[in-house]
A and B are shown apart, each in its own frame.
Chain A
């Protein structure tokens, strides 16, 4: 597998991952822009709206039929919050020509051109988006916003983030705000779209069994690419240490019609540089990242308080979230037990075996990066956003070199920020 980056224009990069491991080619376009309250809802709306039609494929029906015709090319859009940035993601996954029942078709070229067309050449009427599409997609975004509470565990996590980052970019809900939707019309939105396209960071990813020269030519000759301007991309690099506005530990309890209580604890990891992220990854693995972790062993296996007791590390924001689903009446007990694990980490109460086991697990995950097409793309995109360039071998080496002292050092930079409990 080979990863190459070509800067097409300033702020616009084309990444190719040449691999023969897959039956498919995966093409992705990521638009990255700073997350802020003013634009978040518009970005969410745009990510939904672009699916509706382009100048060459005017309706969603036309796009869908084309994808189906390409042996069910999977066309998908996503919206991510990555650190203080919002990322609009567009994908087409199509089977490689080698696995088609009839030969001679060049699916890849159609795929590349179709996605570029959808993202950079949207359907417009009278110098604006089509009013009907905008109104319908406003409704869809509204449903997404309302739907926040449908998955209770997810909702508890979102609420914890909001409380941790009140009035800060990271506290913004990625699908935006209902009250802002009403202020948007098709003309202004189109104006904003052009601004976004002219200022955002643009990354194109193509993973698959490809002829590099051929695809590079398709991209460089593409009219939609040609019309894009150079830009100093409007996105934010992570700061070290992260600013924590919420200094004191806070506890928030809310009620909803839930059967099981959902406990989420947000931890700040006050690291000072990119390097310390590797140790934080290890710290998280020992705390709650696997079946051998302290949380799984103590909260689930020994105390039988939960089925889910885990932690996850959000590396673009230097935070860790602990999650657990418990009986409401067990709240105090579970909280105390969880806090005890965080304290024990600080005191170095974990074994060399824990460290070795975690290393094995993390290294194994690193080795599979190029065995999964989307994971590969996510990995290289992560490097883009942190302006780092670490090969898998170097990554593994960094993990191997971590010592117990390093982990205890990180443990002492960890601070409970917000305890959030959703109960009936």
Chain B
């Protein structure tokens, strides 16, 4: 296996691409009793339009198929459910779907190999029937309706809605009750056969292991699959402009909840630059609106905001945006002050002391990610599907300087790319 060592956090990544093109990554954690295994496919809620390898025509499926598959993969031919089997082993099993990947996982102290048997069996052997697909619709409907009651989730989705015309990032991961009702077992098999090919997947394991031995255990449990060609994914062209500057929704909340979105149309293609930009944006966002910023201090003092805003920069294959979410008594006024402070910062330029301090903070935040096997495994998987090795963040941060941040400030924080999403009474 190839070994990549990071001297800052003193951790090693063992990585191997197997003959069937499945990528296996192992991050050993000697002394830890907890073990974590995650198997992901580079297939999420964004992948609704594609050309199946070997076919000519475009296949289009209803929204929510990736998530539906995540629920259904646990079904076994003998009538058992793998979630039950894993739970019975005393392991903590779960699965989740994002916009670009779906992942199946378990965490345990004992019975690791038994659990691995089950995980690798159910992910490789789908079993869908009309009956088990139908039954899941009731459960997923309640999951969708649960999210409908979360104001934080609504304000987030609405912000995406206001930023994007076509990009599937704005689609709710679960789909809607209407779209999931169109899903049947044929659609599930079609998507499974397209996207659950080893060449489109990666496994990450973290815990107290000998990597080479563990790799053999993974190999033993793999089913031969014939090689497959490249999946052509079709994403719509997204105009550079936003859809609308403001979006509001009425929900029973005590005080308004807001999300400021900034559509970033200058998406980096080079991986190193992506990592650098992510880090730069995290420093910059904290500089603008973090705990120590003037903006936060003043808005808090004046009672315009309360609680700390969450500051995120999210990016994927063909989208990137800033999202600032929080609670405000007067979100429109807060937004005006926010924009003013950006203008001021552009004029004055970034203060070097602030920059150095927040750079240290972001470095520390990345080091902390290495405390827990779960955080490690999830991070390496999500980054891998973006083409990034997680260690890169610890290395790239050194090269970031004030000039680069000033440049990002100009490039990303454009008023005509900003939207305000509000959920209020």
Give residues in A with beta carbon < 8 Å to B. 20-24, 59-61, 64-65, 67-74, 93-95, 98-99, 101, 132, 136, 139-140, 143, 146-153, 256-260, 290-292, 297, 300-301, 304-308, 325-327, 353, 356-357, 359-361, 363-364, 367-368, 370-373
Contact = CB atoms under 8 A, between A and B. Distances in A.
Interface stretch (B48-56, B134-142, B165-173, B189-197): B134-142
B288 interface: no
Contact of A60 (B10, B291, B357, B362): B291
21 contacts: A23-B370, A59-B297, A60-B291, A68-B360, A71-B360, A71-B361, A71-B363, A95-B364, A95-B367, A95-B368, A101-B363, A136-B300, A146-B254, A147-B254, A149-B254, A153-B146, A290-B87, A292-B84, A307-B146, A357-B88, A361-B87
Contact of B303 (A73, A136, A260, A307): A136
B88 A292 contact: yes
B9 A23 contact: yes
A146 B255 contact: yes
A72 B145 contact: no
Given A72-B365, A136-B303, A357-B88, A300 B139 contact: yes
Interface in B238-267: 251-255, 257
A290 B297 CA distance: 43
Among the interface residues A59, A94, A143, which one has the most CB atoms of the partner chain B within 10 A? Answer: A143
B90 interface: yes
Contact of A304 (B9, B110, B135): B135
A61 B89 CA distance: 49
Given A23-B370, A258-B149, A364-B92, A64 B292 contact: yes
A197 B148 CA distance: 43
A356 B146 CA distance: 32
Contacts of B140: 307
B90 A361 contact: yes
Given A151-B150, A307-B146, A372-B372, A143 B360 contact: no
B330 interface: no
Among the interface residues A24, A98, A356, A360, which one has the most CB atoms of the partner chain B within 10 A? Answer: A360
Interface stretch (B31-39, B120-128, B178-186, B210-218): B31-39
A357 B85 CA distance: 10
Interface residues of B, number: 67
Among the interface residues A148, A257, A356, A363, which one has the most CB atoms of the partner chain B within 10 A? Answer: A257
Contacts of B401: none
Contacts of A143: 254-255, 306-307, 327
B19 interface: no
A151 B253 CA distance: 9
Nearest to B252: A257
A292 B81 CA distance: 10
A304 B143 CA distance: 11
A99 B138 contact: no
Contacts of B83: 291
A68 B142 contact: no
Contact of A373 (B84, B87, B149, B371): B371
Given A307-B139, A371-B373, A372-B372, 20 more contacts: A23-B370, A61-B297, A67-B361, A69-B360, A71-B360, A95-B364, A101-B398, A132-B301, A140-B306, A143-B307, A149-B253, A150-B254, A152-B149, A259-B148, A260-B145, A292-B88, A297-B84, A325-B146, A364-B109, A371-B34
A147 B142 CA distance: 24
Contacts of A305: 138, 142
B358 interface: yes
A40 to B, nearest CB: 19
Given A72-B360, A150-B253, A360 B306 contact: no
A260 B146 contact: yes
Contacts of B253: 149-150
A23 B375 CA distance: 13
A373 B249 CA distance: 40
A213 B112 CA distance: 39
Interface string B42-81: 0000000000000000000000000000000000000001
Contacts of B188: none
A57 to B, nearest CB: 12
Among the interface residues B90, B136, B252, which one has the most CB atoms of the partner chain A within 10 A? Answer: B90
B109 A20 contact: no
A357 B81 CA distance: 15
B157 to A, nearest CB: 14
Contacts of B398: 101
A69 B361 CA distance: 7
Contacts of B150: 151
Interface in B311-327: 327
Contacts of A370: 33
Contacts of B255: 143, 146-147
Nearest to A141: B306
Contacts of B365: 72
A24 B90 contact: no
A326 B142 contact: yes
B254 A65 contact: no
Contact of B111 (A68, A290, A360, A368): A360
Contacts of B139: 300-301, 304, 306-307
Given A99-B8, A260-B148, A71 B367 contact: yes
A23 B372 CA distance: 10
